[in-house]
Amino acid sequence: MLNAQEKKRYYNRVRRTCKLHGLDIVYDGVPKFYRAVELQKDGSTMFADRAEDHHPLNIDWKRLHEEMADYGYKGGIK
**Alpha carbons 12 and 20: distance in angstroms, whole number:** 12
pLDDT of residue 51: 94
Q: At residue 53, what is the residue type? A: D
Q: Tens digit of pLDDT for each residue in 26-77?
A: 999 999 999 999 999 999 999 999 999 999 999 999 999 999 999 999 987 7
Q: Which helix (H) or strand (E) holds 17?
A: helix 4-21
Tell me phi and psi for residue 70, to 5 degrees. -60, -30
Q: Tens digit of pLDDT for each residue in 22-37?
A: 999 999 999 999 999 9
How many Cα atoms occupy the beta-carbon half-sphere of 68 within 13 Å?
Answer: 33
